[in-house]
Amino acid sequence: MEIVAVAIMLPLRDNYATVSASATLFVDELTWNEANQYCRSIGQHLVKIGRQAKEHYLHEHLVSLNISPSKVDIWIGLHAPDPNQRTHLVWTNNCSIPLLYSNWEPGLKSGPNDLCAYIEVEYESMYWFLDECEKTKRSFLCESKDGICNSGYFYDTESDTSVATGIGGLTTMSSVT
């Protein structure tokens, strides 16, 4: 499968050390499950957005790409692996660092099978939504594992708060894989 990608370099500050991760936007559309499997097949994971600052930089950069005239939907790595616990969401990178940030669409309504998260990127805003993991095909963001933790992190949507710490700088390059 030919996929056009844009790499976004994300220097992250974590426990007073700077680590680097990169996010790659794949514009070919896949279901959430297919996108998750593809990211894993290249040694990455669907992107984790755990801080407002990271979301801000991703939004700013994605808008600057002019991917779509009005909006674009992109799968991210947040999902509910157990359909019986829909509000107990997990990032695909299994990060154990507590997550205190989310950006759900105000008044978000979701169906009983909406277990996978995506972002809707518009010029003025970027919000999170839920959809069925196998229903809709969307673009997706994979993230490198460099500097990213890899042990059991869980996130509960009923008790989230906001935090804004951490990121600085972005670099872009285009490639075809």
Please classify residue 142 by burial: count the beta carbons closer than 10 Å to its beta carbon, then call 0-12 exposed, 13-18 middle and 19+ buried.
Answer: buried
29 near 138, Cβ under 8 Å?
yes
Q: What is the pLDDT of residue 50?
A: 83
CA distance 38 to 32: 10
Q: What is the pLDDT of residue 145?
A: 62
* pLDDT tier at 64, thresholds 50, 70, 90: confident
Q: What is the pLDDT of residue 20?
A: 54
Q: For residues 163 and 70, which has the higher predicted lDDT (pLDDT)?
A: 70
CA distance 126 to 36: 21
- pTM value? 0.73
- Give domain 4-176's CATH superfamily: Mannose-Binding Protein A, subunit A (3.10.100.10)
Closest by CA to 50, choosing from 90, 1, 82, 105, is 90
Q: Which residues have CB under 8 Å from 40's CB, separation 6+?
A: none
pLDDT single digits (tens) 100-140: 688 999 888 888 889 999 999 998 899 999 999 999 999 99
Which residues in 38-79 belong to E strands, given as ranges?
45-46, 71-79
- Percentage of the chain modeled with pLDDT above 70: 63
Q: What is the pLDDT of residue 4?
A: 47
* pLDDT tier at 172, thresholds 50, 70, 90: very low
Q: What is the pLDDT of residue 93?
A: 79
Q: In sequence order, what are the beta bridge partners of 174? A: 6
Please classify residue 163 by burial: count the beta carbons closer than 10 Å to its beta carbon, then call 0-12 exposed, 13-18 middle and 19+ buried.
Answer: middle
Q: Where are the domains of the chain?
A: 4-176
- Percentage of the chain modeled with pLDDT above 90: 28
Which of 17-31, 83-97, 130-144, 158-172 shows the lowest mean pLDDT across its residues?
A: 158-172
